[in-house]
Amino acid sequence: MMRRRLVAAAALVAVAFGAVLGLTGSASAAKLAVSTAPQITLSTLQQCAASMNGTTPVINTASAGASTVTVSSLPAACAGLPMSINLHNSSGAIIAHGTTASAATSQTVNVGTYNATAVTYAIATIDGWVFPTAWKSAIVTNGCVGLDASGNPTSYACTLTLGTVTTWKAGDYWYSQFQFSAQTTAPLWKVIFNFADTTKFQGFTPTVVLDSQNVALAPGYSCSQLPVFMGVEENPGWGSPNGDLTITNNPAEKTNPASLCK
User: Per the confidence metrics, is the pTM higher than 0.85?
Assistant: no
Which pLDDT value is given to residue 86? 93
Does 100 share its domain with 165?
A: no
pLDDT bin (cut points 50, 70, 90) of residue 32 is low
The amino acid occupying position 189 is: W
H-assigned helices in the chain:
2-31
Domain with residue 95: its CATH number is 2.60.40
pLDDT tens-digit readout, 105-157? 888 899 988 877 778 888 989 998 888 788 877 777 899 999 999 999 999 99
pLDDT tens-digit readout, 180-219? 999 999 999 999 999 988 888 987 889 999 998 999 999 9
Closest CA to 141 of 53, 38, 228: 228
Residue-number span of the structural domain to which 245 is assigned: 143-255
Q: What secondary structure does DSSP assign to 146-211, as a single string?
A: EE-TTS-B-S--EEEEE-PPEEEEETTEEEEEEEEEEEESSSEEEEEEETT-TTTS-----SEEEE
Which pLDDT value is given to residue 115? 78
* 164 in a structural domain: yes
Domain boundary among 117, 135, 153: 135
Domain boundary among 85, 103, 135: 135
* 15 in a structural domain: no
pLDDT at 49 over 90: no
Domain boundary among 135, 154, 175: 135
Evaluate the omega torsion of the peptide bond into residue 227 and state whether it is cis, within 30 degrees of 0. Answer: yes
Which pLDDT value is given to residue 166? 96
Q: What's the total number of domains in the chain?
A: 2
Does 111 share its domain with 201?
A: no
Which pLDDT value is given to residue 5? 45
pLDDT tens-digit readout, 57-67? 677 766 656 78
The amino acid occupying position 159 is: T
More confident residue, 19 or 237: 237
Chain-wide mean pLDDT for the chain? Answer: 82
* 49 in a structural domain: no
